[in-house]
Amino acid sequence: MPVKPTQDTLIERFNSTYRTEILDFYLFRTLNEARELTERWVTEYNSERPHESLNNLTPEEYRMMVKNVEISKSVWN
């Protein structure tokens, strides 16, 4: 189990992005408001926003690409 931020850089990157784009940007009135805004942001983060680490694909696009490659490999084996 990672104990230092450098041992889990992906989650640290996500946490940093979430902190600067949501937690530092909004003043929430209720916990439900925070949950709803977070849900919309996570959907955008995973479905609409390109990520440099994924060759500027969205995580959804990358997942589909990897899935297609795996299917292609299984057909040829």
pLDDT digits (tens, 9 = 90+) for 38-60: 999 999 988 888 988 889 999 88
Any idea where the domains of the chain sit in the sequence? 7-76
Q: Which of 17, 38, 36, 68 is nearest to 60 (CA)?
A: 68
Residue with tokens 């609409």: 48
Geometric angle at alpha carbon 31, from 37 and 29, rounded to 5°: 85
pLDDT confidence bin for 1, thresholds 50/70/90: low
pLDDT of 3 reads: 64
Q: pLDDT digit string (tens) for 3-23? A: 676 677 878 888 999 999 999
* Assessment of whether the complete model's pTM goes beyond 0.85: no
